[in-house]
Amino acid sequence: MKKLMLGNEAVARGLYEAGCRVISSYPGTPSTEITEFAAKYDEMYAEWAPNEKVAMEVAIGANFGGARSFCAMKHVGMNVAADPLYTASYTGVNAGMVIAVADDPGMHSSQNEQDSRHHAIASKVPMLEPADSGECKEFAKMAYDLSEQFDTPVILRLSTRISHSQSIVETCEREEHELKDYEKNPQKYVMMPAMARGRHVVVEERTRKLREYAENCPFNRIEWADKKIGVITSGAAYQYTKEALGGKASILKLGLVNPLPVELIREFASQVETLYVIEELDDIIETHCRKHDVKVVGKERFTLLGEYSQSLIAERILGETNETLSLDESIPVRPPVMCPGCPHRGLFYTLKKLKLFVSGDIGCYTLGAAAPLCAMDTTVCMGASISGLHGFNTARGAEHAKKSVAVIGDSTFVHSGITGLIDITYNKGISTVIVLDNRITGMTGHQQNPTTGHTLKGEAAPELNIEKVCEACGISRVRVVDPNNLKELEAAVKEELAADEPSVIITRRPCALLKYVKHEKPLWIDPDKCKTCKACLRIGCPSISLKEGKAVIDRTSCVGCGQCEQLCAFGAIQKKEEV
């Protein structure tokens, strides 16, 4: 059967057809939907892990146990999972193991633009890169055979465009694979120095065989056309190249991007007049070609930054530019904002009001850095808010700790915040940490996490108690407040900052978009009482605007959270319109 699928959905289908049994992931756009789609197949066990390192280790353990396994993450998640990945390259596998990593050229939802091919090279693990949904499914299936053939984990590299674009996929039946026997073998699976030295020899021999395989493997192919122009490319860049150049260029499409072939590239290069390498982000293929004395045109013509496009390729190779239309008027930008009723909004309004240094983290609440709130000073990576604040306060002294807080979401706290909190208590810090508990993993689309009381498949599960975790970490001052109660919230922040010991404030209110949340009736502004002081605009709610000099509330989007009502000194904002 043929079906239109997202790239992520196609990967999940490939896992199903390949007989995968165990899936563990941490949600991270643009990879999240792979695991969500996979969870719909009853034949596969699927879970959300607390973080990517744990997910990788679960998948490693499952393949040791004889089951084909899988884990997925985004590019920055691969950094978290790098420790087990690099050693799993040494141990190899029992049953097949596949790792999906989704890069984000253009940083649509990420804090950096790293190229995950570097991880494949450094860990000496083969990497496949599909160019459409059909290849997503097929490469995911074939990756298991490759994994078992060469005794190695295999990385499947995606990107935002491949993960979230749709194309035709031809589905097949599932191929069941019996659970493989586990045989005790310390020399293979126990990576202490004496055994690891021997396994490194195995890794290098495996890499040599994979290089030979790359020369004639089914993942790489040449598409001959006009030989005046030759292009070596992969992934989304292949699609752009095909559309931009059509029959005006011959193409060497690489599906196995680590290790890269040598003789295949030399043969292709010998038959074209000018050879280009078109690859998004870093110059991996280009550097490989130059290393082997293959003359190419690469990053001197193309950029290291962001996504490519058909127009960019046509311009840089053919000198062709498209006609464009422009408007005389300047259209204001529409940056992302917190939703109406977001429980984080009142917190950031309060932190800005108190003029605090705010050590930030990764999540919806990162939008607290944007105008008009402008209440976040730093964001580095998941968990860095807590440990970063400890370092900042250690450098600047106890007096600064009275003027600074860390903010972190519930899911991120479990992901990598707990160890930072332990660092504060163990080293006698006095920092104040605020856990923004909105009862869900919000930024990536409402995934369950250990604090919500439900598994990936919606089954009831033990609910991690954040208060008790904080107490177990050595925090004696733990309090829970409603972030929509601005007066109570401000008082709590002031009190905890004044304490000469570390403290945790948990701001607990469900995400406004959760289906079970019942909202109040929309608020209304009495134009006769509105003094146009604009105090209500300072909270940055998209439901509030000015019309004919007066503040107005969009009743179709307002959820009646009441935060703005607390800011109006004139009683203009009311629960319901007076008739």
CATH (domain of 570) = 3.30.70.20
Yes or no: say if 173 and 17 are a contact pair by the CB < 8 Å rule.
Answer: yes
Claim to verify: residue 10 and residue 44 sit in the same structural domain: yes
CB neighbourhood size of 32 (10 A): 25
Q: Quick check: is 496 in a domain?
A: yes
pLDDT at 558: 96
Q: What is the CATH number for 256?
A: 3.40.50.920
Q: Would strands 127-128 and 154-159 be described as parallel, antiparallel, or unpaired?
A: parallel
Q: Quick check: is 323 in a domain?
A: no
The span from the CA of 565 to the CA of 571, in Å, is 8
Claim to verify: residue 298 and residue 406 sit in the same structural domain: no
Claim to verify: residue 368 and residue 477 sit in the same structural domain: yes
DSSP 437: E
The span from the CA of 231 to the CA of 223, in Å, is 10
DSSP 125: -
Instruction: For residue 67, give the amino acid letter.
Output: A
Query: Of 318, 353, 370, which residue sits at a domain end?
Result: 318
The span from the CA of 336 to the CA of 258, in Å, is 37
3-state secondary structure of 144: helix
The span from the CA of 312 to the CA of 308, in Å, is 6
pLDDT at 299: 97
Yes or no: say if 180 and 94 are a contact pair by the CB < 8 Å rule.
Answer: yes
Claim to verify: residue 196 and residue 71 sit in the same structural domain: yes
Claim to verify: residue 243 and residue 384 sit in the same structural domain: no
The span from the CA of 107 to the CA of 305, in Å, is 10
The span from the CA of 502 to the CA of 475, in Å, is 6
pLDDT at 579: 39
User: pTM for the full model?
Assistant: 0.94
Claim to verify: residue 366 and residue 257 sit in the same structural domain: no
Q: Collect the ranges in the chain with pLDDT lower than 50.
A: 578-579
- Specify the number of domains making up the chain: 4
Residue-number span of the structural domain to which 455 is assigned: 343-508
DSSP 452: T
Claim to verify: residue 453 and residue 550 sit in the same structural domain: no
Length of the chain in residues, anyone?
Answer: 579
Claim to verify: residue 431 and residue 312 sit in the same structural domain: no
Q: Quick check: is 519 in a domain?
A: no
pLDDT at 577: 55
Claim to verify: residue 494 and residue 537 sit in the same structural domain: no
Return the structure tokens found at 5.
């699928």
Residue with tokens 């932190």: 351
Q: Quick check: is 193 in a domain?
A: yes
The span from the CA of 148 to the CA of 150, in Å, is 6
Claim to verify: residue 21 and residue 146 sit in the same structural domain: yes
Query: Of 508, 534, 562, which residue sits at a domain end?
Result: 508
- Burial readout 218-227 (b: 16 or more C-beta within 10 A, e: otherwise): ebbeeeeeee
The span from the CA of 9 to the CA of 16, in Å, is 11
Claim to verify: residue 88 and residue 61 sit in the same structural domain: yes
Query: Of 253, 283, 318, which residue sits at a domain end?
Result: 318
Q: Quick check: is 517 in a domain?
A: no
The span from the CA of 160 to the CA of 162, in Å, is 6
Claim to verify: residue 500 and residue 540 sit in the same structural domain: no
Q: In DSSP terms, which residues pair with 97 in a beta bridge? A: 69
Q: Quick check: is 331 in a domain?
A: no
The span from the CA of 142 to the CA of 519, in Å, is 48
Q: What is the CATH number for 421?
A: 3.40.50.970
